[in-house]
Amino acid sequence: MKTKAAVLHEMYLERPYTISRPLKIEEVELDPPGFNEVVVKIKVAGLCHSDLSVIEGNRPRPLPMVLGHEAAGVVIELGDGVKKLKVGDHVVFAFLPSCGDCSYCQTGRAALCEPGAGANGKGTLLGGHKRIHKNNEYIYHHLGVSGFAEHAVASVDSLVKIDKEIPFDIAALFGCAVLTGVGAVVNTAQLKFGDSILIVGLGGLGLSAVLGAKAAGASKIIAADLNPEKRKAALALGAHHTIDSSKEGALEVLMKLTNGGVDISVEFAGAISALDFAFQGTKRGGTTVTAALPHPDARLELSPVMLVGQEKTLKGSYLGSCVPSRDIPAYIELYKSGRLEVDKLISHTLHLEDINEGFERLASGDALRQIILFD
């Protein structure tokens, strides 16, 4: 099958991306789906900082690669052995496939699936295969999804069936923005009703976390970002206070608002200064969670005395510590009930040909969640 896709051939290209154009729109070939694989017609795909980090070279991946890890679409073809899905099913992609058999999957920690992580690192599907090629050269998959394309071959273990009544532009966001943002709050941090929370970094993930904290019953939601427009967006979504964490005295302001710090801090900015602010703003006995992806060489200076003497906890969160087959349907039910206003996260819609403009907008901090609409 021939399909149009956005292919990354080279990392580290200089901005603006409107000129360097790191993603090339090309016609590629898809192999037929193999065992336990399907072909999905992509309807909507979202632009995320995780995609941008590959373009920038902060998260090196094998190249060439069709990027995109947040998407939703319709199953149009089945490979051998497929039992979980049928042609016509609407699906959301999860950017880490869950094998269901490893020790992590067996104990409810699908975000740490070892075969899934291994396949993602190699740029293959869960079964170890590559199904995209051009001119006799195979092209790598991005996190088992490669959603910046009209069609994708995927493992059924990368897909979650959803209700057909959910619009695709909404559904796509549940694969990363909502799964990671809400999951970091309710699964990793385990926010309890009445807890106070600080959310640092207000892109699509951080604003999803604001929605999740509100839905989970946080007593005080404080949102921090350098961008005033994003702080306004957080207030509109349910935050009670906002802070520019780059300003002198920001930590003192936070401490006054919270009588000594928050129960939970969650950081999505991908900057060490942001993580340090989140940790410093967490009260004694509280929990700080980071769900961001800074440069691999970045290091956090931390005093063990503070961890011990104040009994603080610092945790990482990947995929929102979620089990996609469990949590995506649950979060969709919250959306349907009006308690998770995911539609308010979308700031821009675009076509595949506009993708480099979208990533320049994302790199400039001028967008919340941008989505690509396919025919």
**In degrees to the nearest 10, what's the CA dihedral of 338, 340, 343, 344?**
110
Spatial separation of the C-alpha atoms in residues 141 and 144, rounded to whole Å? 6
Q: What is the pLDDT of residues 82-93, one digit of tens each?
A: 999 999 999 999
Q: What is the pLDDT of residues 42-86, one digit of tens each?
A: 999 999 999 999 999 999 999 999 999 999 999 999 999 999 999
Residues with Cβ within 8 Å of 90's Cβ and at least 6 positions away in sequence, in order, are: 72, 73, 74, 75, 161, 162, 163, 164, 166, 168, 171
Q: What is the pLDDT of residues 244-278, one digit of tens each?
A: 999 999 999 999 999 999 999 999 999 999 999 99
pLDDT on residue 308 = 93
Q: Where do we find the tokens 């995109």? A: 68
Q: What is the pLDDT of residues 191-232, one digit of tens each?
A: 999 999 999 999 999 999 999 999 999 999 999 999 999 999
Residue 293 predicted with pLDDT over 90: no
Spatial separation of the C-alpha atoms in residues 125 and 97, rounded to whole Å? 8
Q: Where do we find the tokens 């549940």? A: 174
pLDDT on residue 127 = 96
At residue 251, what are phi and psi to the nearest 5 degrees? -65, -40
Tokens of 213: 């904290």
Spatial separation of the C-alpha atoms in residues 289 and 234, rounded to whole Å? 19
Mean pLDDT of 277-284: 97
- The DSSP result for 8-27, as a single string, is E--S-PPSPHHHH--EEEEE
Q: Which amino acid is at 352?
A: L
- 248, exposed or middle or buried, with CB in 10 Å at 0-12, 13-18, 19+? exposed
pTM surpassing 0.85? yes
Largest CA distance in the chain: 63
In sequence order, which ranges of the chain are alpha helices (DSSP H)? Answer: 17-20, 49-56, 103-106, 114-122, 168-171, 177-183, 204-215, 228-237, 250-258, 272-280, 304-309, 324-336, 355-363
Residue 107 predicted with pLDDT over 90: yes
Q: Which fold has domain 181-318?
A: Rossmann fold (3.40.50)
Mean pLDDT of 368-372: 96
261, 275, 277 from 281: Cα distances, Å:
5, 10, 6
Residue 296 predicted with pLDDT over 90: no
At residue 25, what are phi and psi to the nearest 5 degrees? -85, 115
Spatial separation of the C-alpha atoms in residues 55 and 52, rounded to whole Å? 5
Q: What is the CATH number of domain 2-175+341-373?
A: 3.90.180.10
Q: Which amino acid is at 24?
A: K
pLDDT on residue 303 = 87
Residue 279 predicted with pLDDT over 90: yes
Mean pLDDT of 338-362: 97
Tokens of 116: 């899934």
54, 92, 197, 278, 360 from 61: Cα distances, Å:
7, 23, 34, 29, 20
pLDDT on residue 306 = 87
Q: What is the pLDDT of residues 111-136, one digit of tens each?
A: 999 999 999 999 999 999 999 999 99
Domain range annotation of the chain:
2-175+341-373, 181-318
Which 8-state DSSP code applies to residue 49?
H
